[in-house]
Copies of this chain bind each other. A is one copy, B any other.
Amino acid sequence: MPQSKYEPIYRSIKEDIESGIYKYGDFLPSENEYTIRFACTRNTVRRALSLLTAEGYLLPQHGRGVQVIYRPDDGRSLFTIGGIESFAEAAERSGRKTTTKVVIFKQIKADKKVNLKTGFDIGEDLYYIERVRYVGKRAVIFDTNYFLMSETPGLQPSIAAASIYRYLEDTLGMTITTSRRRVTAQQASERDKELLDLNHFDFVLSVAGQVFNSRGVMFEYTESRHVPDQVCFIESAVRQKV
């Protein structure tokens, strides 16, 4: 429920772009025009526009106007980098049928090796989870999760098989905020080959990262190893003025 004013404005304009009312190359109505249309100040309009700019939808041009540079997706890429989206959410959005199989679910204590890899302090109690994600009948993602037990009480295999994020947000009332991820291409391990339907591929796209909650506590470290032909990360960047 958006109690903010800029958020529905942002969604409205985004909707207009995605539905093709404003096409690639078009200029949007001016900021002043929008202040009238949405009955708000220029600041609020600019806030909505800046979100779309950061997403690569818009290119503001000093003195000229705001141009649309969004082009509809080629489809086919499940994930979009630049957002935090769980597997279940991404699947739902793309309308494909997906399932999750929990391979390992156990409790561990962080040792030196885990500390180096994940950043959790040595001695912390963690849930260690391995899951395989299927799109249709094909195993496409191999997930390894470390969750901080103190922040994620009551986590169970049955929850891991559904959506951990939904549990954390809806049941525990946790707010997930920021993540920092590293994307690399890696040689497929024996375990990858065993668990994933790699077909002729012998490499994976790995996305590893830490996730923070709204209390500033890093409560999750995850590595997702993707079958290369089913994933593509889209990122948009705005060049820094020096």
Contacts and interface: CB of A to CB of B under 8 A. Distances in A.
Nearest to A58: B178
Interface in A166-225: 176-187, 201-205, 212, 214-216, 218
Nearest to A228: B185
Interface string A141-177: 0000000000000000000000000000000000011
A35 to B, nearest CB: 18
How many copies of this chain?
A: 2
Contacts of A25: 216
A2 to B, nearest CB: 8
B56 A180 contact: yes
B184 A231 contact: yes
Closest 10 CB pairs of A and B: A67-B216, A185-B185, A203-B203, A185-B228, A185-B205, A183-B233, A84-B239, A180-B236, A56-B180, A184-B232
